[in-house]
Structure 1
Amino acid sequence: MQVLIVFAHPDQRSLQASLLKVTIASLEKHGHTVKVSDLYAMNWFPNITESDFPNHEAGTRFQPIRAAAEAYTASSVSADIAAEQAKVMWADMVTFQFPLWWYSLPAIMKGWMDRVLNKNFAFFSGGEGTKGPLQGKKALIITTLGGSQHYFSSDGMMGDISLTLHPIQKGIFRFLGMDALEPVVGYDADSRKPDCYEKTSQLIQERIASLDEISQ
């Protein structure tokens, strides 16, 4: 498969940066072709502005969803957005790798979604996302959490981790018609436990190995 990894962490010495290397190596080991959008390294700008859509008439009311749809149809989106959209279309699977901050995506990654996954490019109007242009592409989350696995269990304070990831897995991926794969979740990322990296690395490698069966 052709795999795009959208990655978000500001420190190249971080646990997530180390795990990104594991993800890339594991994918390539199994014969997949990989591209990476390292958002912090790219200095990705996360805010939607009128300059994203050169065909938008200055001074008129700015409605981002409508402006994005019209700009994509007219092939008039900014170069950085167009480059990321080309990567998405190239990919058979898009992997989002990030630390879970405030029980959600880092702001820079949310900004990538806001600017790249535009109407007419990623979905059509009328709530028919499952029939949109990204139908059939796979989506995989690889995330790390500061809390323990029990904290995100059915008996824990936050409930099962699937509840936390539901807005992404269903509200974004499923809406876009993507096949949301079972996420990879690493716990105790802030605990400095020596086995955190090893456990999460193993989970990543096992998950990627299972892609061989999924892609057949």
Structure 2
Amino acid sequence: LAEKKVLIVYAHQSAGSFSAAAKEAAVEVLKSKDCSVEVSDLYAMKFKATATAEDITGEVKNPEHFRYAEETKLAWDEGRLSADITEEQRKLQEADLVIYQKTKALLSFTTGSQETMFSPTGINGDMNVTLWPLQNGILHYCGFQVLAPQIFWAPADAAPEGRSAMLAAWNTRLFQTFFFFLKGPFMWHMAPNRR
């Protein structure tokens, strides 16, 4: 059986955060199942998340009317994308089949509010509606099979045993995901805790 390559895209500033603990739990579980795990820690990398002309090395085709999509396509064709982008592309290429159909995507993130605040009548609105553009409009559209998200509701407000229970449930879910769903690479995204 070929080794599974896992790419975890992680974004949180604090190494002591619950998000960091969940990421470490995922690394531990997946490595115990003989997965090769690579983490892109966006904060540690100082990864720039904005799309600008700085993503291109050398001259742009039309500096008076910069059109990002056209310019980056040309830069891609000519091998002139910035080093940070090409490095992340390398990771995706090495993760085997990430860009192909039936690749799994699982969003995992913390919130700064209780679950009731993300209900259809909650002050923050329905979490399913909030996630729809990302899960359907981006991930599904790009060919990912989107698994139900793992949402850690307000871990900063939970007692230590509550946070431990969240991590235990996460470990169980990862084991179940590995045994029942994981047939290709696994991409995991941790959004920052709002606290």
With normalisation by structure 1, the TM-score equals 0.73
- 5 Å-filtered alignment, 1:182-201, equals 182-201=148-167
1:170 partner amino acid: N
SS for the counterpart of 2:6 is strand
Residue 85 (structure 1) shift: 0.8
Q: Percent identity?
A: 30
Distance 1:158-1:30 versus aligned 2 partners, 3 A rule: same
Looking at both structures, which has the greater relative contact order when contacts are Cα pairs under 8 Å and sequence separation is at least 6? Answer: 2
Correspondence for 1:137:
103
The CA deviation at 1:159 is 4.8
Give, in angstroms, the shift of residue 141 of structure 1: 0.7
Offset from partner CA, 1:35-86 (integer Å, 9 cap, x none): 0000111111223222312252363421112212222233221111001011
Give the AA of the match of 2:82: S
| Alignment counterpart, residue 137 of structure 2, candidates 157, 171, 176 | 171
Work out whether 1:91 is the aligned partner of 2:95.
yes
Match of 2:53 among 38, 50, 58: 50
Distance 1:142 1:214 in 2: 16
Matched, 1:17 2:55: no
Which 5+ residue runs of structure 2 have no aligned equivalent?
Answer: 184-195
Task: Note the C-alpha offset of 1:151.
Answer: 2.3
CA deviation string 1:4-23 (max 9, x = no partner): 11111111111211221111
More helix as a share of residues: 2
Between the two proteins, the alignment pairs up a number of residues equal to 178
Q: Do residues 80 (structure 1) and 84 (structure 2) align?
A: yes
For residues 155 and 59 of structure 1, what CA distance do their matches in structure 2 show?
A: 47
CA contact (8 A) 2:104 2:182 kept: no
Q: Secondary structure at the match of 1:23?
A: helix
1:28 equivalent in structure 2: 31
Unpaired stretches in structure 1, ≥5 consecutive residues: 95-132
Cα 1:155/1:199, change in 2 over 3 Å: farther
Check whether the contact 2:61–2:71 (CA below 8 A) recurs between aligned residues: no
Aligned to 2:112: 146
TM-score by length of 2: 0.80
Structural RMSD (CA): 2.2
Do 1:185 and 1:200's aligned partners in 2 also have CA atoms closer than 8 Å? no
Tell me the secondary structure at the aligned position of residue 54 of structure 2.
helix
In the alignment, which residue of structure 2 is the partner of 1:202? 168
Look up the SS of the partner of 1:20 in the other structure.
helix
State the alpha-carbon separation in 2 of the partners of residues 5 and 180 from structure 1: 15
